[in-house]
Amino acid sequence: MIRAGEYASFEDARARFRWNVPERYNLAEAVCGRHAGDPAAVALIYEDAAGRARPYTFAELDRLGCRCANVLAGLGIGRGDRVALIMPQRPEVLVAHLGIHRLGAVAVPLSRLYAAPALEYRLAHSGTAVVVADAPNAAKVAEIADRLPELRRVLVADPGAPPDRDLRGLLDRAADRHPGAATRAEDPAMILYTSGTTGPPKGSLEAHRKLIGFVPPFQLLHNFAPRPDDVFWTPADWAWVGGLFDLLLTAWWCGRPVVGTARERFDPEAAFALMARHRVTGVFLPPTALRLMMEVPDPRRFGLALRTITSGGEPVNPEIVAWARESLGAPVHEFYGQTETTFYVGNCSALFPVRPGSMGRVFPGYRVLIMDEAGEEVPVGEVGEIGVHREAPSVLLGYWKDPDATRGKFAGDWFRTGDTARLDADGYLWFQGRNDDLIKSAGYRIGPAEVEAAMLAHPAVAEAAAVGIPDPVRGQIVKGFVRLKAGAVGSPGLVKEIQETVKRRLAAHQYPREVELVEDFPRTATGKIKRSELRAQGAGRQGGSPGGA
């Protein structure tokens, strides 16, 4: 834990901080059980579909977690068995997590957005024995159940299920107490499936100790959380590491409440109202959500209590940072990390200045290397692949059932992220893109993130993506895809303006020689833009849209 005033400076914290990883550690106890002695301590404020808010205390959730552990044990679930969770933000997701970890079983969080074939792959690959789902997702699993030989039972969190599958009924009849497994910090706790840029998705096997690695970055990203009045919220799916670890579990570790909502589609106006109602002080908002919120007029009218905004998953452009400071009175702290690691690079305006467009600096406890293809450090200012040292407690145990993939991700003790960045002389990192997203044009290596940030500087642009497409002379050229703000009208002149904006902010060789205006982007389940699809689309439709050059 990092406390305000404990270190003289960020550099002092980097020099003196040391990890303390106990031999015995259990996620359910760390995030809930140890707070359950205070009967008034609120863990969750949940708004249902009708807008009714219901608080849940740590004590109540701890009891429900014990009941869930007993239900699962009655189905033969024990240490190491896999239990999948497929639901939107609901209290039952958290109760199931607590029950699974109390047993020493392994949770497999899966997005509610997955179609049946995507679920089939992940459930079969993980060898899931029990699924806990809402009714719509239970129906998807029913379609594929005969192809899942290790699946024993699907528990349904909605009314109408048979008694042996009715989660609520089973919880009502279960005992309130469970002794809890004496798990080691190294024991498996979760399988988190990556989106998979190449090949099928990989299951990142995570230990109970993973949470320990999230706490110091979380505290710094929120300018020395927790404070006594802190309330946290994110619209991110709790099946995603961004919603689960980046905010929910770390906020609970700190003993502070999290807001959850049954609302499944992001509505920026409703998001402001929700934060105001519950006096939310800290949020994790992906850049896509922030860009939508920028289109809401006069957000100060909501009377927000916001102190800190964290954002990551894709680059945060400087315009977002400036808007939040001026319109919300809160800093945006961009961070960087991956499913297999944590957010080990980020910003903390209480300790050092935020440089808009930068991912921030390496947090205490982490070692980062910007390396070349041979795994050697590149000079300051040059682009290289980001590597993080495996000594950090948040680094994965390995890929489930894939030792070759695990070995291939390490250069010695350095986990190779596949992402590229440059490190400046002051220790700030600047994201460039995925290795496979880098654009190589006429001998130049162009990071799409910088081009996208420059396109977003044009006042008519709401969202932007840049990819490389084949070119017979340059090898590749930059192609931009742009979604315009409401009310903006596409024209050749507007496209030319966007191209000139990039030229002015970057360089002539980096501007998009083609620009295509789109209504929306292809996205992953977590809302990230699928650049691989845009590359294929761009290569097949060279010539651009109105004004494409």
For residue 1, pLDDT over 90 is answered with no
Distances (CA, A) of 547 to 52, 153, 158, 467: 50, 57, 52, 18
SS3 152: coil
For residue 457, pLDDT over 70 is answered with yes
Given a contact cutoff of 8 angstroms between Cβ atoms, the answer to whether 391 and 412 are in contact is: no
Residues 484-505 have pLDDT tens digits of 999 999 999 999 999 999 988 8
Per the confidence metrics, is the pTM higher than 0.85? no
Distances (CA, A) of 108 to 6, 31, 93, 418, 519: 37, 18, 11, 24, 34
Given a contact cutoff of 8 angstroms between Cβ atoms, the answer to whether 106 and 79 are in contact is: no
Amino acid at 342: T
Q: What is the mean pLDDT of residues 335-340?
A: 94
Please work out, in degrees rounded to the nearest 5, the angle formed at the alpha carbon of residue 105 by the alpha carbons of 103 and 111.
125
* One-character DSSP codes across 281-326: -EEE--HHHHHHHTTSS-GGGG-----EEEE-SS---HHHHHHIII
pLDDT score recorded for residue 549: 31
Distances (CA, A) of 313 to 242, 328, 334, 393, 497: 8, 21, 9, 21, 28
User: Which residues on neighbouring strands pair with residue 483, listed in sequence order?
Assistant: 463
Residues 6-60 have pLDDT tens digits of 888 999 999 999 999 999 999 999 999 999 999 999 999 999 989 999 999 999 9
Nearest Cα to Cα of residue 59 among 261, 217, 311, 255: 255
Instruction: Return the C-alpha torsion angle 348, 353, 354, 360, nearest 10.
Output: -60
DSSP 379: P
Amino acid at 24: R
Given a contact cutoff of 8 angstroms between Cβ atoms, the answer to whether 148 and 170 are in contact is: no
Nearest Cα to Cα of residue 486 among 296, 330, 350, 356: 296
Q: How far apart, in whole angstroms, are the C-alpha atoms of residue 119 and residue 126?
A: 11
User: Which residues on neighbouring strands pair with residue 411, listed in sequence order?
Assistant: 414
User: Token pair for residue 452?
Assistant: 């996208």
- Percent pLDDT > 90 in the chain is 79
Token pair 């993973």 in the structure block, residue: 210
For residue 444, pLDDT over 90 is answered with no
Domain 439-540, CATH 1.10.3720.10 — does that match? Answer: no
Q: How far apart, in whole angstroms, are the C-alpha atoms of residue 110 and residue 100?
A: 15
| Poorest-pLDDT segment among 129-138, 274-283, 357-366, 453-462 | 453-462
Nearest Cα to Cα of residue 380 among 337, 428, 348, 434: 428
pLDDT score recorded for residue 168: 97
Sketch the domain layout of the chain as residue ranges. 53-183, 439-540
Residues 266-322 have pLDDT tens digits of 999 999 999 999 999 999 998 889 988 999 999 999 999 999 999 997 778 888 999
pLDDT score recorded for residue 432: 86
Q: Of residues 434 and 96, which shows the higher confidence score?
A: 96
Instruction: Return the C-alpha torsion angle 538, 540, 541, 543, nearest 10.
Output: 90
Q: How far apart, in whole angstroms, are the C-alpha atoms of residue 244 and residue 251?
A: 10
Token pair 């690079």 in the structure block, residue: 345
Instruction: Return the C-alpha torsion angle 99, 102, 104, 107, nearest 10.
Output: 40
Q: How far apart, in whole angstroms, are the C-alpha atoms of residue 103 and residue 89?
A: 22
Residues 132-181 have pLDDT tens digits of 999 999 999 999 999 999 999 999 999 999 999 999 999 999 999 999 99
pLDDT score recorded for residue 526: 65
Would the CATH topology of 53-183 be identical to that of 439-540? no
Phi, psi dihedrals of residue 509, rounded to the nearest 5°: -75, -10
Phi, psi dihedrals of residue 389, rounded to the nearest 5°: -75, 140
Q: How far apart, in whole angstroms, are the C-alpha atoms of residue 347 and residue 360?
A: 5
How many other C-beta atoms lie within 10 A of the C-beta of residue 536? 14
SS3 415: strand
Nearest Cα to Cα of residue 261 among 277, 245, 246, 249: 277
Nearest Cα to Cα of residue 189 among 176, 202, 177, 207: 207
Fold of domain 53-183: Rossmann fold (3.40.50)
SS3 190: strand
Q: Of residues 107 and 5, which shows the higher confidence score?
A: 107
Q: How far apart, in whole angstroms, are the C-alpha atoms of residue 143 and residue 543?
A: 43
For residue 509, pLDDT over 90 is answered with no
Q: What is the CA radius of gyration of the chain?
A: 23
